[in-house]
């Protein structure tokens, strides 16, 4: 069964019905089941739908192709927001070969794929995910002189701690940064004026054709909270980072001050996904509001107005839908008060965006990924 182009969905949107199953197709290839050609992974991870294989047969095949895969795994357990239904199939990949093997299995079985890194910056659907979730847990790294060779699953906290001990300057700004290196690279994570791109030398990733490639820093196309990996949904495997020599004691002081700032200012006592919205580019602020927000403008890495200040000025602290709430402590965070649901997060995000736009003429852009 072929689906018209207008009905194609991207990875993470889920199937349009419980009777449909996603499988990958090459970009610009119009082959369908009817034509007899075999579709595969696309550059943009576009999906076409076809009736699923028999359940028992599918489970037998995936267990054979991917030993250790789990069925109906709660995604809430694997995200910092503690929200999300079950994944039809869930696989933890502890090395790059396992990641490639899982992707190959998904392609053969015509399963949609979602790559889960550290579990932050994502809101999983209450219905879960109907395909295969691949959890990245390749976490080896080594330090050689002023360079670090690290796999995508390395926790950012481990890299910060280890490089500082060696007196290497370049990640001290990331003290307290949640998540893994792969996720940080994908979204060009940043805080306190620093960004992960500043330390990147090269990145190894799987492109849309399933090829493992090495990307130079320029080829990564880093921008504010984005990269080629996010835009084209390439899968980060590992990276080489470069550092400068610094004073370990001074670097540790900077990292600890940032960790303390996060502890005091961020609602870490509640499950959350991290900053919900990107900060607002000061250049895009309507002229009539520039004076109002002049005192809160900061450089991160260019002049921005903290979204938390905008949401607070709109009087939205504490705004609640169901069991999710705009944090009183840091209003660019939405917190899970207990048994929160993704659909309530979506409603709350829309309310915040509508009210901010109505009051200030500012269009907020989500930093979080909804799946």
Which residues on adjacent β-strands are paired with residue 141? 150
Q: Residue 287 is encoded by which pair of tokens?
A: 């002229």
Q: Indicate if the pLDDT at residue 371 is higher than 60.
A: yes
Q: Indicate if the pLDDT at residue 131 is higher than 80.
A: yes
Please identify which of the residues 88, 225, 233, 341 carries the catalytic annotation.
225
Digit-coded pLDDT (tens) for 295-352: 999 888 889 999 999 999 999 999 999 999 999 999 999 999 999 999 999 999 999 9
Q: Which residues contact 87 (CB under 8 A, 6 or more apart)?
A: 72, 73, 75, 114, 128, 129, 131, 132, 133
Q: Which residue has the higher pLDDT, 48 or 197?
A: 197
Cβ-based neighbour number of residue 29 at 10 Å: 13
Q: Which residue has the higher pLDDT, 48 or 272?
A: 272
* Radius of gyration of the chain from its Cα atoms, rounded to whole angstroms: 21
How much is the pLDDT for 203?
98
How much is the pLDDT for 370?
95
How much is the pLDDT for 28?
38
Please identify which of the residues 120, 130, 238, 275 carries the catalytic annotation.
275
Q: Indicate if the pLDDT at residue 107 is higher than 90.
A: yes
- Is 181 in a helix, a strand, or coil? helix
Q: Residue 33 is encoded by which pair of tokens?
A: 């089941």
CB distance 104 to 167 below 8 Å: no
Q: At which residue do the structure tokens 């028992």 appear?
A: 56
Phi, psi at residue 214, to the nearest 5°? -105, 125
Digit-coded pLDDT (tens) for 15-50: 433 333 333 333 333 343 333 444 444 333 333 334
How much is the pLDDT for 18?
35
Among this protein's residues, is 350 annotated catalytic? no
Structural domains of the chain, with CATH: 5-136 (3.30.43.10), 141-250 (3.30.465.10), 269-370 (3.90.78.10)
How much is the pLDDT for 290?
87
Digit-coded pLDDT (tens) for 53-93: 456 788 899 999 999 999 999 999 999 999 999 999 999 99
Q: Indicate if the pLDDT at residue 116 is higher than 90.
A: yes
Among this protein's residues, is 225 annotated catalytic? yes
84 burial class (0-12, 13-18, 19+ CB within 10 angstroms)?
A: buried
How much is the pLDDT for 130?
95
Euclidean distance between CA atoms 325 and 186, whole angstroms? 27
Q: Indicate if the pLDDT at residue 102 is higher than 80.
A: yes
What pTM, to 2 d.p., does this model score?
Answer: 0.80
Euclidean distance between CA atoms 296 and 200, whole angstroms? 30
User: For 224-257, b where at least 16 C-beta lie within 10 A, e where not — what string?
Assistant: bbebbbbeebbbbbbbbbbbeebebeebbebbee
Euclidean distance between CA atoms 201 and 198, whole angstroms? 9
How much is the pLDDT for 264?
94
pLDDT mean over 115-122: 92
Q: Which residue has the higher pLDDT, 197 or 16?
A: 197
Please identify which of the residues 73, 172, 195, 367 carries the catalytic annotation.
367
Among this protein's residues, is 275 annotated catalytic? yes
Euclidean distance between CA atoms 58 and 282, whole angstroms? 52
Digit-coded pLDDT (tens) for 157-195: 999 999 999 999 999 999 999 999 999 999 999 999 899
* Alpha helices (runs of H) in the chain, residue ranges in sequence order: 55-65, 96-108, 156-165, 181-186, 228-231, 248-265, 290-293, 307-313, 342-360
Q: Indicate if the pLDDT at residue 207 is higher than 60.
A: yes
- Is 267 in a helix, a strand, or coil? coil
Digit-coded pLDDT (tens) for 344-367: 999 999 999 999 999 999 999 999
How much is the pLDDT for 300?
82
């Amino acid at each position: 069964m072929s689906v018209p182009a207008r009905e194609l969905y991207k990875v993470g949107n889920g199937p349009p019905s419980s009777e449909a199953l996603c499988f990958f197709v090459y970009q610009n290839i119009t082959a369908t089941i009817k034509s007899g050609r075999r579709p595969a992974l696309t550059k943009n991870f576009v999906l076409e739908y076809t009736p699923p294989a028999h359940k028992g047969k599918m489970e037998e095949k995936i267990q054979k192709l991917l030993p250790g895969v789990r069925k109906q795994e709660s995604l809430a357990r694997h995200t910092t927001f503690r929200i999300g239904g079950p994944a039809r199939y869930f696989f933890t990949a502890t090395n790059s070969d396992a990641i490639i093997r899982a992707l190959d299995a998904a392609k053969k079985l015509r399963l949609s794929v979602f790559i889960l890194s550290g579990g932050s910056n994502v809101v999983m659907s209450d219905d879960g995910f109907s395909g295969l979730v691949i959890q990245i847990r390749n976490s080896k790294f080594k330090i050689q002189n002023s360079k670090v060779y690290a796999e995508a699953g390395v926790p950012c906290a481990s890299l910060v701690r280890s490089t500082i001990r060696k007196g290497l300057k370049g990640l001290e700004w990331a003290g307290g940064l949640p998540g893994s290196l792969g996720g940080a690279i994908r979204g060009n994570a940043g805080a306190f004026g620093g960004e992960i791109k500043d330390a990147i030398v090269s990145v190894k990733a799987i492109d849309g054709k399933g090829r493992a490639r090495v990307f130079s820093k320029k080829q990564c196309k880093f921008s504010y909270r984005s990269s080629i990996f996010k835009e084209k949904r390439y899968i980060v495997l590992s990276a080489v980072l470069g550092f400068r020599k610094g004073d370990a004691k001074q670097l540790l002081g900077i990292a600890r001050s940032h960790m303390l700032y996060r502890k005091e200012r961020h609602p870490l006592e509640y499950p959350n996904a991290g900053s919900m919205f990107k900060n607002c580019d000061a250049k895009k602020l309507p002229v009539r509001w520039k004076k109002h927000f002049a005192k809160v403008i900061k450089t991160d890495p260019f002049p921005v107005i903290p979204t938390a200040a905008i949401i607070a000025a709109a009087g939205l602290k504490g705004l609640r839908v169901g069991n999710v709430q705009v944090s009183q402590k840091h209003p660019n965070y939405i917190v899970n008060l207990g048994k929160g649901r993704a659909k309530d997060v979506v409603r709350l995000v829309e309310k915040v965006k509508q009210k901010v736009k109505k009051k200030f003429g500012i269009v907020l852009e989500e930093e979080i990924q909804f799946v």
